[in-house]
């Protein structure tokens, strides 16, 4: 689930950066994607 959100946010950020140049909104999406990645790496689910 977190990886799906991360990929969606990164794609939106890349599209916005390349096409729209909305500015702070795009950078906010990038920050949220990075936070999700860090949380996922720190919590690290272990499959049994």
Average pLDDT, whole number, for the chain?
A: 75
Distances (CA, A) of 41 to 4, 24, 32, 33, 45: 14, 26, 14, 12, 9
Question: Of 16 and 32, which is predicted with more confidence?
Answer: 32
Global confidence as pTM: 0.47
Task: Give the number of other CB atoms < 10 A from CB of residue 29.
Answer: 21
Q: Which residue ranges make up each domain of the chain?
A: 2-43
What number of CA atoms fall less than 13 Å from residue 41's CA on the CB side?
Answer: 7
Find, among 2, 4, 11, the residue nearest to 30 by Cα: 11
Rounded CA separation 28/45 (Å): 26
């Amino acid at each position: 689930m977190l990886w799906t959100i991360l990929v969606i946010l990164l794609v939106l950020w890349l599209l916005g950066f390349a096409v729209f140049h909305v500015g702070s909104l795009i950078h906010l999406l990038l920050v949220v994607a990075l936070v999700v990645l860090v949380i996922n790496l720190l919590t690290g689910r272990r499959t049994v």
